[in-house]
């Protein structure tokens, strides 16, 4: 009988819980800092160890064509975040992802033929958030994490303008976001346009009845024109119910409906 053995160990060397970590979930609370300009730096440094044997249902031939050969590696990833708050109601945040550092292949003194084995640097978030003096209205604009209440329709880092109204722990937001596309967009700015873009419009919120129960309704509309002359419309109403039974036990119930139309496409 074939057996499969997989081990995954993640050692978090540095980690700080931060109100702005889940940017798409609750992005409407300013940092509670001093009344003067503040600059904060923190991040997550993670070391992974993964091991699996080759006696599984994977039909891929091992690299040395030897049955029973094990597969595995050590890797390091670092997610630094810099947050600048020039005013208690203005926040600028930047989040990067430095990954791809495999112990077995990354060479810190590479030759030209080894450049593909260098760590990958990705910019995940770069946004500005402003809370108006009333402390109830505000907006966040820039590249940011965005998700629907069920995390089934959209869950991605993308460019967006998110305006919101908040009161206590409840909020309501309207969002215009653009999902990136690398197929039909121009390489430089002079070739880019809005003819073949993928936009998402959303109205979502969070309503709390007490500290243990929260409702997150949402209505999402996608206008996708990335394929020439084949525009796609999608409407996605959804609802998430989140409850906390105890300090260590929570539950989520999701309801979602999706309907839409794709123009100039035959029925499959």
In a domain, 93, yes or no: no
In a domain, 266, yes or no: yes
At residue 34 the predicted structure's pLDDT band, cuts being 50, 70 and 90, is very low
Distances (CA, A) of 169 to 74, 136, 161, 238: 41, 11, 21, 20
In a domain, 213, yes or no: yes
In a domain, 112, yes or no: no
In a domain, 237, yes or no: yes
| Number of structural domains in the chain | 1
| Residue 54 DSSP code | S
Domain encompassing residue 218: 132-268
| Residue 225 DSSP code | -
In a domain, 181, yes or no: yes
Spacing of C-alpha 253 from chain mean position? 21
In a domain, 220, yes or no: yes
Residues 62-83 have pLDDT tens digits of: 555 555 667 778 888 899 999 9
Q: What is the pTM of this model?
A: 0.73
Residues 123-136 have pLDDT tens digits of: 899 999 999 998 89
In a domain, 75, yes or no: no
């Amino acid at each position: 009988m074939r057996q499969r053995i997989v081990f995954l160990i993640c050692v978090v060397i540095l980690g700080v819980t931060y109100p702005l970590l889940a940017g798409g979930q609750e992005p409407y609370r300013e940092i509670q800092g001093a009344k003067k300009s503040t600059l904060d730096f923190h991040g997550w440094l993670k070391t992974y160890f993964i091991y699996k044997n080759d006696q599984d249902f994977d039909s891929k031939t091992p690299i040395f064509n030897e049955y029973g050969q094990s597969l595995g590696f050590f890797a390091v990833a670092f997610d630094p975040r810099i947050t600048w708050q020039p005013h208690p109601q203005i926040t600028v945040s930047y989040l990067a992802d430095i990954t791809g550092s495999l112990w077995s292949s990354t060479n810190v003194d590479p030759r030209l033929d080894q450049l593909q084995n260098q760590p990958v640097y990705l910019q995940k978030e770069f946004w500005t958030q402003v809370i108006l003096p009333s402390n109830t209205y505000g907006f966040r604009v820039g590249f940011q994490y965005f998700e629907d209440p069920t995390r089934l329709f959209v869950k991605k880092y993308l460019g967006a303008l998110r305006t919101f109204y908040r009161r206590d722990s409840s909020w309501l937001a309207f969002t215009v976001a653009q999902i990136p596309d690398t197929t039909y967009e121009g390489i430089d700015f002079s070739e880019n346009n809005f003819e073949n873009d993928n936009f998402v419009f959303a109205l979502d919120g969070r309503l709390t009845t007490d500290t243990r129960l929260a409702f997150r309704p949402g209505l999402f509309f996608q206008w996708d024109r990335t394929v020439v002359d084949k525009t796609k419309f999608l409407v996605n109403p959804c609802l998430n119910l989140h409850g906390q039974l105890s300090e260590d036990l929570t539950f989520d119930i999701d309801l979602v409906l999706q309907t839409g139309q794709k123009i100039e496409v035959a029925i499959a």
